[in-house]
């Protein structure tokens, strides 16, 4: 099977990174009761902020951003 | 509450056991029980105390490997600037091995630390896991690909050449086993390094480099607790414990870097197995 081109991987990684940064911001800004019901940590009536969940999402987002950065670099491009 | 005498004993113990592959968390759960101290792993004052001692250990590690960290961070910067890792840029490769190893351990720590700490807080379970930690260390030595032998040249170059990113992620992931009191973080990462084909010396070096951001970040994340109301009444003891921990951590890392030039994990495996079994029998009887 052919590997996807670096450009496609970079674009996908960038989308994932942005999505995860948004998720992190939601975790930090909203209490557990206000999180979307499909988010891990959602709990009706709870005023707890899932700071660690947000941090985890942010770290993975950062990793995805770094992947996008490398995949869009000159070394990743076919010569 | 924790006394100054207890802070000194636990601080000295923390500095050694954090870097020796024998589980610092396990020892900090077992020892107070053995001595009949009214200190439990989930007491907020004890968690605050541990933040201080961990922070001190991380600072010692950072200081001990300071020149290496400067090189590694420069390599990281170079690779980001060039958007790739040069074929001969071993510092950049090592930097990304450490990043890749740190991410899974950090994520698992963030998500599982609290539930695991509450699930396995007893001295009994810590003793059983200490016993299993001994078997784990022994197993890693038995399953390793190559016999330990003194090596020449730059150890960071050897690590960067031998270890793949997949293996670094694996080593980082197995570190998370140390969230369970009784299992050793440094032991798991040294064992993982051995299975990845590193010598004992290089596996220990990689484990200590990997430990610095993990221990440091965990401590920094909880530092507000030490500085906030939870730290009231325990700050002095924490400072004393942190100083003791720093001294023994420095001596431990110096000793271990020389020890693993020619030695194996086996003595620590024997200690953990025997001590774990003895404590388990004592607490269960």
Query: Residue B83 is nearest to which of A52, A56, A69, comparing CB atoms?
Result: A69
Whole-number percent of chain A with pLDDT over 90: 48
Cβ pair B17, B60 in contact under 8 A: no
Cβ pair A26, A35 in contact under 8 A: yes
Residue B37: what are its φ and ψ, rounded to 5°? Answer: -80, 145
Q: What is the pLDDT of residues B127-152, one digit of tens each?
A: 999 999 999 999 998 887 565 566 67
- Kindly list the residues from chain B whose CB atom is less than 8 angstroms away from the CB atom of residue A53: 110-111
Number of cross-chain residue pairs from A and B with Cβ atoms under 8 Å apart: 35
Say whether A20 sits in a helix, a strand or coil. Answer: helix
Q: What is the pLDDT of residues B77-112, one digit of tens each?
A: 999 999 989 888 999 999 999 999 999 988 998 888
Neighbours of B261 (CB within 10 A): 16
pLDDT at B263: 87
Q: Respond yes or no on whether ipTM tops 0.90.
A: no
Look at B84 and A70 and tell me if their CB atoms are within 8 Å. yes
- Kindly list the residues from chain B whose CB atom is less than 8 angstroms away from the CB atom of residue A52: 110-111
Residue B159 pLDDT greater than 80, yes or no: yes
What distances in angstroms separate CA A38 from CA A32, A41, A43, B138, one per listed residue? Answer: 11, 9, 10, 43
Nearest to B107 by CA among A43, A40, A44, A2: A40
pLDDT at A79: 43
pLDDT at B167: 95
Q: What's CA B98's distance to the chain center, in Å? A: 14
Query: Residue B107 is nearest to which of A60, A73, A76, comparing CB atoms?
Result: A60
Walking along chain A (79 residues) 10 residues at a time, the average pLDDT comes out as: 82 94 93 88 86 91 93 66
- Provide the whole-model pTM: 0.88
Look at B83 and A59 and tell me if their CB atoms are within 8 Å. no
Mean pLDDT of B221-229: 80
- Our CA-based measurement puts residue B23 at a distance from the nearest CA of chain A, in whole angstroms, of 24
Q: Spell out which chain B residues touch chain A, with contact meaning CB-CB distance below 8 angstroms.
A: 80, 82-85, 99, 103, 106-107, 110-111, 221
- Our CA-based measurement puts residue B5 at a distance from the nearest CA of chain A, in whole angstroms, of 34
pLDDT at B5: 94
- Kindly list the residues from chain B whose CB atom is less than 8 angstroms away from the CB atom of residue A60: 103, 107
- A73 vs B46 pLDDT, higher one: B46
Residue B253 pLDDT greater than 90, yes or no: yes
- Our CA-based measurement puts residue A9 at a distance from the nearest CA of chain B, in whole angstroms, of 14
- Kindly list the residues from chain A whose CB atom is less than 8 angstroms away from the CB atom of residue B110: 52-53, 55-56, 59
- For chain A, the distance separating the N- and C-terminal CA atoms, rounded to the nearest angstrom, is 21
What distances in angstroms separate CA A73 from CA A7, B34, B74, B87, B249, one per listed residue? Answer: 9, 57, 19, 15, 41
């Amino acid at each position: 099977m052919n590997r996807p081109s670096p450009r496609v991987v970079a674009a996908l990684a960038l989308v994932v990174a942005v999505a995860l940064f948004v998720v992190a911001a939601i975790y930090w800004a909203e209490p557990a009761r206000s999180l979307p019901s499909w988010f891990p940590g959602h709990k009706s009536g709870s005023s707890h902020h899932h700071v660690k969940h947000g941090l985890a999402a942010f770290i993975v987002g950062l990793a995805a951003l770094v992947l996008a950065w490398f995949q869009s670099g000159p070394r990743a491009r076919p010569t | 509450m924790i006394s100054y005498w207890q802070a000194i004993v636990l601080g000295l113990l923390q500095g050694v056991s954090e870097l020796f592959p024998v589980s610092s968390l396990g020892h900090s759960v077992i020892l107070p029980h053995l001595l009949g101290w009214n200190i439990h792993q989930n007491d907020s004052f004890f968690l605050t105390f541990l933040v201080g001692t961990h922070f001190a250990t991380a600072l010692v590690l950072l200081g001990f490997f300071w020149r290496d960290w400067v090189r590694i961070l420069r390599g990281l910067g170079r690779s980001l600037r060039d958007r790739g890792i040069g074929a001969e840029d071993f510092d950049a490769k090592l930097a990304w091995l450490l990043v890749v190893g740190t991410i899974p351990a950090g994520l698992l720590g963030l998500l599982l630390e609290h539930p695991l700490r509450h699930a396995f807080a007893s001295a009994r379970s810590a003793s059983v896991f200490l016993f299993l930690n001994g078997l784990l260390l022994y197993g890693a030595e038995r399953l390793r690909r190559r016999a330990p032998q003194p090596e020449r040249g730059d150890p960071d170059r050897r690590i960067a050449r031998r270890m793949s990113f997949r293996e670094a992620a694996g080593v980082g992931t197995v570190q998370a086993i140390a969230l369970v009191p009784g299992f050793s973080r440094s032991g798991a990462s040294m064992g993982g390094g051995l299975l990845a084909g590193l010598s004992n010396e290089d596996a220990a070096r990689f484990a200590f480099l990997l430990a610095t951001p993990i221990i440091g970040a965990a401590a920094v994340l909880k530092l507000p607790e030490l500085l906030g109301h939870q730290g009231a009444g325990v700050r002095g003891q924490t400072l004393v414990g942190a100083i003791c921990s720093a001294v023994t951590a420095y001596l431990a890392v110096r000793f271990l870097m020389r020890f693993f030039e020619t030695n194996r994990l086996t003595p620590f495996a024997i200690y953990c197995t025997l001590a774990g079994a003895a404590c388990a029998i004592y607490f269960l009887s």
